[in-house]
């Protein structure tokens, strides 16, 4: 079984790669900027698991690069069973600092990237599962992340359309994490983080492994389809 995780170099993507490799899947680590992390992860998997692993540099928002990535996957593995669209960026900033360029940058990676990778994945996927990583911000966040929140709501809408179109051979599901301890949140102000922790029923941020285990569960369940699974510890005021 072969699995591609976009943004597999760090954070949730890295944990997901490790989970699938540890369960015997061949893995494709996609990265964009973090080549060193990706190569180290590739080497770690080679040393510790008896699976095939490759690293591919590709900016998921660039159609030519996405096409080229799937050519490499086809040459190496021929088919793909699991696609995890995980690559994502956030650019939290005051509304007055946002502009069309920064807004579109977030949409291009999070939403267009999910679309492009899903579309070209079909060249190597005739059955299996696509799991898209959205966010509970899709249901409402804050003005500073309005671009990110809109992109994640778009990912959920797109996932429903793909689920209907690709059935019955390919299932499509969404995981919508809440606050997870990764680089994405490393610069949060302590006060803001404390206030957010108070809103989480479990009173703590989750870990990347909490998302990786959910993705793996979905990949190995044959009847969950077109679902959005929130993994946020329970969140509300
Ligand atoms: N952490 C949270 O609290 C949280 C909550 C809800 C949803 N999420 C979602 O979970 C996913 C993973 O986030 P994370 O927390 O693990 O973030 P992270 O630690 O910042 O990692 C982001 C990953 O995305 C990759 N990436 C970014 N732009 C890319 C591009 N253009 N092409 C290919 N890869 C790209 C990065 O690769 P390079 O470093 O190689 O560029 C990196 O591997 C994202 O979709 C995020 O929106 C996170």
Note whether residue 141 is domain-resident.
yes
Note whether residue 237 is domain-resident.
no
- Tell me the average pLDDT across 150-177: 98
pLDDT at residue 121 in the model: 98
Buried b (16+ CB within 10 A) or exposed e, 196-231: eeeebeeeebbebebbbebbbebbeeeeebebbbbb
- pLDDT tens digit string along 40-77? 999 999 999 999 999 999 999 999 999 999 999 999 99
- Decide: 41 and 17 in contact? Cβ < 8 Å: yes
C-alpha of residue 31 to centroid of ligand 1, in Å? 10
pLDDT at residue 176 in the model: 98
C-alpha of residue 175 to centroid of ligand 1, in Å? 14
pTM for this one?
0.98
- Tell me the average pLDDT across 102-123: 98
pLDDT at residue 132 in the model: 99
* Nearest CA among 14, 171, 178 for reference residue 87: 14
Share of the chain above pLDDT 90, in %: 100
- pLDDT tens digit string along 12-30? 999 999 999 999 999 999 9
C-alpha of residue 223 to centroid of ligand 1, in Å? 28
Instruction: Give, for ligand 1, the residue of 14, 18, 87 to mutate: max count of ligand atoms closer than 8 Å to Cβ.
Output: 87
Note whether residue 178 is domain-resident.
yes
Banded pLDDT at 237 (limits 50, 70, 90): confident
Q: Whose CA is nearest to atom 23 of ligand 1?
A: 7
**pLDDT at residue 165 above 80?**
yes
Average pLDDT of the chain, as a whole number: 97
CATH of the domain at 123: 3.40.50.720
**pLDDT at residue 194 above 90?**
yes
Total domains, the chain: 1
Q: Whose CA is nearest to atom 47 of ligand 1?
A: 88
- Decide: 75 and 108 in contact? Cβ < 8 Å: no
* Annotation marks residue 148 as catalytic: yes
Note whether residue 196 is domain-resident.
yes
Note whether residue 182 is domain-resident.
yes
pLDDT at residue 127 in the model: 97
Note whether residue 86 is domain-resident.
yes
Which ligand 1 atom lies nearest to the CA of residue 137? 6
- Does residue 178 sit in helix, strand or coil? coil
C-alpha of residue 110 to centroid of ligand 1, in Å? 9
The neighbouring-strand residues paired with 5 are: 29, 84
**CB count in 10 Å sphere of residue 80:** 24
Structure tokens at 123: 């060249």
pLDDT at residue 106 in the model: 98
Note whether residue 235 is domain-resident.
no
Domain that holds residue 157: 2-229
- Does residue 190 sit in helix, strand or coil? helix
User: Which residues, including other chains, have CB under 8 Å from residue 148's CB and lie 6 or more apart?
Assistant: 89, 90, 91, 92, 106, 110, 135, 137, 141
**pLDDT at residue 125 above 80?**
yes
Contact residues of ligand 1, CB 6 A cut-off: 6-7, 9-13, 30-34, 59-61, 86-89, 109, 133, 135, 177, 179-180, 182-185
Using CA atoms, how far residue 136 sits from 96, 99, 180, in Å, is 24, 24, 11
Note whether residue 40 is domain-resident.
yes
- Decide: 80 and 121 in contact? Cβ < 8 Å: yes
């Amino acid at each position: 079984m072969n699995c591609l995780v976009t943004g597999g170099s760090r954070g949730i993507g890295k944990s997901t790669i490790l989970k699938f490799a540890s369960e015997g899947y061949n893995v494709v680590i996609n990265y964009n900027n973090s080549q060193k992390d990706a190569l180290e992860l590739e080497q770690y998997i080679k040393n510790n698991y008896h699976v095939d692993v490759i690293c591919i540099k590709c900016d998921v928002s660039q159609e030519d690069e996405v096409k080229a990535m799937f050519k490499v996957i086809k040459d190496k593995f021929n088919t793909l069973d699991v696609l995890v669209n995980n690559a994502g960026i956030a650019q939290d900033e005051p509304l007055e600092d946002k502009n069309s360029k920064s807004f579109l940058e977030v949409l291009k990676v999070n939403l267009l990237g999910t679309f492009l990778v899903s579309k070209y994945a079909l060249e190597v996927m005739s059955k299996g599962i696509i799991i898209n990583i959205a966010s509970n911000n899709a249901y409402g966040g804050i003005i500073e992340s309005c671009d990110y929140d809109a992109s994640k709501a778009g990912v959920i809408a797109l996932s429903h359309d793909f689920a209907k179109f690709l059935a019955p051979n390919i299932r499509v599901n969404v995981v919508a994490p809440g606050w997870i301890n990764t680089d994405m949140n490393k610069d949060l102000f302590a006060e803001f983080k404390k206030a957010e922790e108070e809103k989480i029923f479990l009173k703590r941020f989750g870990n990347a492994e909490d998302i990786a285990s959910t993705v793996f569960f979905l990949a190995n369940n044959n009847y969950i389809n077109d679902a959005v699974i929130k993994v946020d510890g329970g969140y509300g005021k």
